[in-house]
Structure 1
Amino acid sequence: MSEKKKFLYAATVSTAMQYSGILRKIAGQTAGMARLGWNASYTCVEENCLLRRTGEQEERFPFPACTRWSEQQKHLANAIGALLEEDPCDMVYIKGFLTNPYHRMIAKAAKQANPSCRVVFEVATYPYWGEYKRFFRVDMQKKNARAFLGHVKEVLQHAGTTLTFSRYVDTVVTFGEQTDSLWGIPAINVDNGVEVDAIPLREDRAPRDSIHLLGVVGTSVVHGYERVLQGMQAYREKENGMPVFFRVVGNNETIVDLKRMAASLGLGDRVEFLGYKNAAELAQLYCESDVGISPLAEYRVGLNRLSPLKSREYLASGLPLFFAYEDSLLTPDLPFVKIFPNDPSPIDIEEVVDFVSACRADPELPEKERRFAKEHFDWEIIMKQILDFTG
């Protein structure tokens, strides 16, 4: 029996709760590779330790405490490079946004350890310049010179890194708009996926005398939940049907403004802010909700085509969802999907109520939705596409 090929997902994502969604994605992609027959591991960071996780096994590699982000990333790149030198891999998968010298260090180390190693770089969002324009705009509005200069440095590092990135990287993976190549490297556009079997199928326990919406903020600042609040206010003013409640999970920098808006619109008794929740707590919330909300304001960063992680989790759990963007496989004819325009207009809550009523009428809908996720978005399927493309 031949030895399994080795796969390393080289990530430097923290295990802190606010990054739990990203970490679930990394673990899911790695599990997908394992199901495809690879000896698959991924790395992440917990305080001053680089962790390497292979199935249920975890190894810890301490590195010096750092106050500067650049110093930490250099230590992590060197630590991952040492792992690759000791245990060469057949494929190394690197996660990033803009490229930087530390990504190049890891890619170079992978090729030096095994010249036939296939190196893949994942771009979290493409195109990415809309997001950086927003960064600069916010920095200037807040007169935050330090943040502005930090973002300038990231752009300059990216520009310098891309000049030689193709020496060490074989494939670029993008989520969003289609592109055939990036920085002179062949590119494949894929949908975000989900480890379906890791998410329990929801038991519908939402009350039938009201409608319950669920939004999970994560790290996104373009979720557009103010559109929901504005729609809820308009609906309440003429409400003659079921009351609508909205729960918001997460605690990034947008939450303060959302709380202020909810109060100013007189929705304090209808909107609840829950803070961060772990996977088990989210599964419970899925059971208690009628519909999940995926991003509603990608127009702010110039994006229209998207495949957010959270939408895949809703699908796997069997929770219907609504959103405001184009998703290649989530079309308006699907009974568990509702699509709104990608603009700043208030969400029509009456349409949401009608959508929920239609979903409730089919008791088999959660199983149908989960089956759809399994057939189209399981990470094993997505990673097989990347493998076939990379060769």
Structure 2
Amino acid sequence: MRVLLICRINEHSKKFAGVFKKIKGQLEGFEQAGCEVACVYMSYGTQTTSVYHQGELVSTGLSWPDISPRQESIVFWQHAVEAVKQWQPDVVLVRYEAMLKHPTLVEFYRAIRGRAIACVEFPTYPYEAELTGVDLETVRAHRQAMLNEVDHVFSTCYDDTILNKPNHPFDNQLSQAMIDELAERRVSSVRHRDNVINLLMVANLSNWHGVDRIINGLAAYYTDPRSATVMLHVVGEGDCLVDLQRLCAGLKMEKWVRFHGFLSGAELDKVFIQADLAIASLGMHRIDLYRSSTLKVREYLASGLPVIYSCADSVLSENPYVLRVPEDDSIVNIPDIVTFFQRIQQTGPVKPALASFARDTISWRRVAENILNVVKGDLHG
């Protein structure tokens, strides 16, 4: 079976680096499930069609250079029609994007009707709380028109339907290659010898990450003398970075909170190695999400880090190395985190155990096989 993934994501984007890792994981999953698989995406200013084989994206030669940012949102989907015609897949899986003005995806699906099984993935649903300053009526009208053109809907939302269209839920995963690589680079059975508990948050910082809850929690924690030192390391940039830095300064927490900015490669690995606990998004309720399957949580687990979280996630539900905090705007109780950390340290080396859990639990192949089971009825019908 030939599967074509289409996503208007730039492989070199810092902001969407995690998303592109997800795309490559999905491609790996379909390949492991026995499919020929290709992807249409952006590479700097060039729209590219590449086949995926054993961890590598290899250009098919079908590409469109010199696309301006102003044109991209429209011409990308026009070129994607040509990619479908040229590569002739059995299944097309598109990463949904909100159509703020032009019904690009509606036109795309109409143009490929009858050429392949048409599928759409909602990376987040509901998502409207993330959209600010836009005409939601237009977004909703275009979305409904698109759903009328697709055969199957997939999402990380566990509702039975999305706007009356049957929904096939899945959880985000990591590629097996990435899981093994992270364990090799970041997991050690030996912990640093000091009395500092290092908390780590890696994100493209937005309101729903809830970093303010930890900062305010640290401010409350340090109103009294403490035997255990707790530090928060924040990696990443984003819309909320300046506000968080101001909050930190206003509370005089600069000694206990360090903003590292964007890190990658060996510098990022070093922060992961030094970390003791990871912080998941603690403000998902602010955008009306009460169930998640974020890639970052899976990266934390594969890197051997226990996770502090608030929003329900299937990969955390049966895991002894996690601590759930209230799903609201209350400040996080830091003494609870200290107690949790001290308890799990008594069970033996934590990081190798968590890396092993990730290797056994997280797999894009199973997601791909579930998608294929849904579409095979159309192929054989």
**Band of TM-score, shorter chain:** 0.7 to 0.9
Q: Kindly report which structure 2 residues correspond to 1:39-50, keeping only aligned pairs within 5 A, or say none.
A: 39-50=36-47
The 3 A distance-change label for structure 1 pair 128 and 348 is same
Q: CA deviation at 1:131?
A: 3.0
Between the aligned partners of 2:206 and 2:156, the Cα distance in structure 1 is 15
**Residues 220 and 52 of structure 1, relative CA distance in 2, 3 Å threshold:** farther
Corresponding residue for residue 152 of structure 2: 171
Name the structure 2 match of 1:369: 354
Q: Using the alignment, how far apart are the partners of 1:288 and 1:118 within structure 2?
A: 47
TM-score, length of structure 2 as denominator length? 0.88
How many angstroms does 1:359 deviate by? 2.7
What is the aligned-residue identity percentage?
25
State how 1:67-216 maps to structure 2 within 5 Å. 67-68=69-70, 71-98=71-98, 101-112=103-114, 114=115, 117-132=116-131, 135=132, 148=133, 151-152=134-135, 155-167=137-149, 169-176=150-157, 178-199=158-179, 200-201=182-183, 202-203=187-188, 205-216=191-202
Q: Does 1:36 align with 2:38?
A: no
Residues 207 and 49 (structure 1 numbering): CA distance in 2 closer, same or farther, change over 3 Å? farther
**Cross-structure match for 1:231:** 217
Q: Which residue of 2 aligns with 1:323?
A: 309
CA-to-partner distance for each residue in 1:56-114, whole Å, 9 max, x for gaps? Answer: 2432623444352xx312211122211111111111111124357222344344434x2
Give the count of matched residue pairs: 362
Q: CA deviation at 1:358?
A: 2.3
**Partners of 2:81 and 2:37 in 1: CA distance:** 17
Q: How does 1:172-321 map to 2 (within 5 A)?
A: 172-176=153-157, 178-199=158-179, 200-201=182-183, 202-203=187-188, 205-218=191-204, 220-278=206-264, 280-321=266-307
Structure 1: 5+ residue runs without aligned partners?
136-147
Note if contact 1:206-1:290 (Cα within 8 Å) is conserved in structure 2: no
Runs of 4+ in 1 over 6 A off after TM superposition: none
Partner amino acid, structure 1, of 2:351: P
Q: Give, in angstroms, the shift of residue 162 of structure 1.
A: 1.7
Find out whether 1:6 has 2:2 as its counterpart: yes
Q: Does 1:350 align with 2:331?
A: no
Indicate the residue corresponding to 2:371 in structure 1.
386
Residue pair 1:51, 1:58 contacting (<8 A) in 2 also:
no
In the aligned structure 2, how far is the partner of 1:245 from the partner of 1:291?
Answer: 10
Shift in Å at residue 321 of structure 1?
Answer: 0.6
After superposition, the CA RMSD in angstroms is 2.2
- The DSSP-based 3-state class of the residue aligned with 1:12 is strand
TM-score by length of 1: 0.86
Whether the aligned pair in 2 keeps the contact of 1:292 and 1:321 (CA below 8 Å) is yes
- 1:260-314 Cα distance to aligned partner (Å, 9 max, x none): 1111111112211111122554333221100111111112112211111100111
